[in-house]
Structure 1
Amino acid sequence: MIYCGIDWAESHHDVAVINDAGELPAKRRITDDAEGYRILADLLADHGDDPDDRIPVCIETNRGLLVALLNQGGRKVYAINPMAASRYRDRHGVSRKKSDPGDALILANILRTDMHVHRPIPADTPQARAVAVLARAQQDAQWNRQQMSNQVRSLLREYYPAALDAFATWTNPLTRPEAREILRIAPTPAKGAELTIAQLRAALARAGRSRGIKATAERIQDVLRGEYAHQPPEVEDAMGAQLLGLPRQLDAACIAADELAAQDETAFREHPDSKIMLSFPGIGPQLGARILAEIGDDRSRFSDARALKAYVGSAPITRASGKKHHVGRRMVKNDRLNHAGYLWSFAALNASEGANAHYRARRERGDWHAAGLRHLFNRMIGRLFHCLQRREVFEEHEAFPSALRDAA
């Protein structure tokens, strides 16, 4: 058996090939380009790599062109966490020396000794990987939009509270185009107080609003002309100049989040698993895309539902040593999927009687809100694993038979 370890870097990669005895028959440094990939393929072929018997590869990343090329043709590629790789380094010496060729050798030895305890990169379809790219990009854009919105809100609280009060009746007010347009033409309290009804109506129309423009403009004018504490005029002008730059960044974040959401939804609905996921209460196109992005469509990735629950962090973890025994929530988990699970279980409370009854039962047993939602998510993710394996849609009476019987 031959094993290969690759220490990944930005401009070059160190490759180590070892056998079952731990001997090093070959090592090489390759460049990060087409020529380097060809040299790597020839190096593996010289040591027995062929389409029917692929040499497994260990590397410290699960993305990039190099990983994509290695993952083709049925080859098993193992992505090792860099922290885990550093712990393996301590097994070979206590001097704490480090080098790129040495790290490549350590990665190859991980496969030689402990390949059975590590999981290869899932063999997801290109369609699922495309959904993963769009879903993660959309989630990042949404987080960036919220971060920019918080910066604008923090600045307005320092010198322009009238604007916050004027937009307070809207949901996520600072991310709405009407609010950004008004702040663009009136970045200071003095300019806001000078706005006429006609100017406000024109700003609302430019932002895309078509209903209730007159009433909204009158309400905003009344608020902007109210009595508030003020900074000195020079300070207000300086903060207004600062504010003018933030809405432009917020505009870009909002546009990116909306465009990525539309593309993400289209790609998700075209995937075969979307019909099953959308049948679950509380899952919509955006949330379903995030879940699919993290669990993929490789049915052999998780051996059972317990493995999936541990991966998402919904299953409890036990720490026992001597007389100490503690059962608590998992801290090491897939954070993106865990966040999606919180939203899913919260939305399912109103969409499913069984889910609501399950959550209420957990609260009556003493669970806090987050613990109750986590327990519900644990139940739902197990059901999702079952439905995906059997290609079945969600059935309320099968997922929560006792809850519905008690309710009846």
Structure 2
Amino acid sequence: MLLIGAGWAEDHHDVEVQDESGRKLAAVNLPEGVTGIVGLHELVARHGGADLDPAEVVVGIETDRGSWVQALIASGYQVFAINPRQVNRFKERYASSGATSDKGDAHTLADMVRIDRAQLRAVAGDSEAAQAVKVVARAHQTLIWERTRTFQRLRSTLREYFPAALSAYADLTLTSTDALELLVKAPTPAAAEKLTRTQITAVLTRHRRRNRAAKAATVQAALREPQLGLPEQVTTAYAATATAHARLIIALNEQIAAMEEQVKAHFLAHPDAEIYLTMPGIAEITGARVLAEFGDDPNRYVSAKARKNYAGTSPVTRASGKSHTVQARYVRNNRLADALQAQAFSALRNSPGARRYYDKQRAREVGYNPALRQLGNRLVGILHGCLKTRTRYDEATAWSHHADLHAA
């Protein structure tokens, strides 16, 4: 068996090869791309021999994405994606200096897959369809996060020089393209005061707003409210800043809408989509995010508990002496946790069983978020059962046990 540590970087990879006893066989720097992969295969052939089974080559690397990882998996190697924080903690077992280097990381990764392989999670063998869903779902969510950050900057800027805009466009929602177009059209209090009702209505009409006349009147009145002013030169500088943020959000809105269509298309093309969409609280976008983070490798989760642990919905027990506490997991996949939280919240409205389960937790004086997290944990278990048996969600079957307890 060969144990390989691959320190991942943007344009190169420091690689160390060990045998089963931990003896260093080679330490090289390989380039990114085809040349690097060919070099790695040559190392394997040189030190493992022509008869070495690819499954006997174990690779530790600090990422689970990219062409290098896919090439390693396609070669039949065992590949373990190891979080950089785990690498740092492993180093602390043998040294406390805190020193770090790419070569040192490669050595540590090789040691980890040699010593602690049973405690590590192999990179899932997800299908190409699942990988595609993951790419677009994550990109879509990242764009939304970027829009939120940009909006917070815009809101902070408006509070400094043009607070009337915040109240004027509150009913339209300031992240909406029509409100942003009005802000770009009149980015200063003086210019906004001159906006006519006809101009405002024209923008609302172009974006198919309902009750346009009433909304235009409300916006115009709010923009003409008296407010404290700043020197003209300072106001002009603020206006330029706000305009830049507004134009950026308009562009993000356009790309988010386009990426949303991609998410739906890739998700609906996946064979598991039919099962996901039967689950309460899941539609195309939420379903795509959950599928993206769970993947579709049928051997990745050996039980419902394993899936719940990965999701971060199952609690953590901390027991020492007389102390015994049960706490939420805070080290988890935040993208998956957010999607499952959204699913649990939506399930309250369209699943009587989920509603009963949630109300039961609240009746035990469990807080809102912990009760929602417990519901999410239960839904993950149900999803696992549906995927394992390849059956659609059934309300009566999913909640039969809890329904009987409720009736009793």
The TM tier, using the shorter chain, reads over 0.9
Residue 90 (structure 1) shift: 3.6
* Alpha-carbon distance change, 292 to 51 in structure 1, aligned in 2, over 3 angstroms: farther
Matched with 2:142 is 140
Residue 217 (structure 1) shift: 2.4
Please state if 1:14 is matched with 2:14: yes
* Alpha-carbon distance change, 63 to 193 in structure 1, aligned in 2, over 3 angstroms: same
CA distance in 1, matches of 2:194, 2:323: 68
* Alpha-carbon distance change, 49 to 139 in structure 1, aligned in 2, over 3 angstroms: farther
Residue 51 (structure 1) shift: 8.7
Matched with 2:280 is 281
Q: Structure 1: state its 5+ residue gaps.
A: none
Please state if 1:106 is matched with 2:108: yes
* Alpha-carbon distance change, 299 to 90 in structure 1, aligned in 2, over 3 angstroms: same
Please state if 1:264 is matched with 2:263: yes
Residue 145 (structure 1) shift: 1.0
Matched with 1:81 is 83
SS at match of 1:58: strand
CA distance in 2, matches of 1:82, 1:403: 42
CA distance in 2, matches of 1:380, 1:285: 17
Residue 164 (structure 1) shift: 2.1
Moved more, 161-170 or 45-54: 45-54
Measured against aligned partners, the alpha-carbon deviations of 1:83-142 in whole angstroms (never above 9, x if no partner) come to: 222232244455655443343232222222221111110000011011001111111111
Matched with 2:54 is 53
The answer to whether the 8 Å contact 1:178/1:209 transfers is: no
The answer to whether the 8 Å contact 2:54/2:76 transfers is: no
CA distance in 2, matches of 1:96, 1:165: 51
SS at match of 1:394: coil
Q: Kindly report which structure 2 residues correspond to 1:6-405, keeping only aligned pairs within 5 A, or say none.
A: 6-46=6-46, 47-48=48-49, 52-54=53-55, 55-93=57-95, 97-170=99-172, 173-206=173-206, 208-209=207-208, 211-405=210-404
CA distance in 2, matches of 1:33, 1:368: 51
Which one-letter code corresponds to 2:109 in the other structure? L
- Output the aligned Cα RMSD: 2.1
| TM-score with structure 1 setting the length | 0.93
Measured against aligned partners, the alpha-carbon deviations of 1:337-374 in whole angstroms (never above 9, x if no partner) come to: 11111111111110111111111110110111001100
* Alpha-carbon distance change, 40 to 357 in structure 1, aligned in 2, over 3 angstroms: same
Moved more, 63-72 or 103-112: 103-112
CA distance in 1, matches of 2:24, 2:231: 73
Residue 56 (structure 1) shift: 1.5
SS at match of 1:348: helix
CA distance in 1, matches of 2:63, 2:266: 25
The answer to whether the 8 Å contact 1:181/1:204 transfers is: no
CA distance in 1, matches of 2:301, 2:199: 59
The answer to whether the 8 Å contact 1:353/1:404 transfers is: no
Which one-letter code corresponds to 2:200 in the other structure? L
Residue 232 (structure 1) shift: 4.2
Residue 163 (structure 1) shift: 2.1
Measured against aligned partners, the alpha-carbon deviations of 1:275-332 in whole angstroms (never above 9, x if no partner) come to: 1111011101000011011100001111111111111111111112222222111111
Moved more, 313-322 or 263-272: 313-322
Matched with 2:2 is 2
CA distance in 2, matches of 1:201, 1:376: 45
The answer to whether the 8 Å contact 1:77/1:120 transfers is: yes
Measured against aligned partners, the alpha-carbon deviations of 1:24-74 in whole angstroms (never above 9, x if no partner) come to: 233322122322221111111232477953311111221222112111143
* Alpha-carbon distance change, 49 to 214 in structure 1, aligned in 2, over 3 angstroms: farther
CA distance in 2, matches of 1:114, 1:89: 13
CA distance in 1, matches of 2:63, 2:407: 49
The answer to whether the 8 Å contact 2:54/2:75 transfers is: no
Which one-letter code corresponds to 1:373 in the other structure? L
Residue 388 (structure 1) shift: 0.6
CA distance in 2, matches of 1:49, 1:56: 16
Q: How many residues align?
A: 405
CA distance in 2, matches of 1:150, 1:356: 34
Percent of aligned positions that are identical: 40
CA distance in 2, matches of 1:92, 1:236: 59
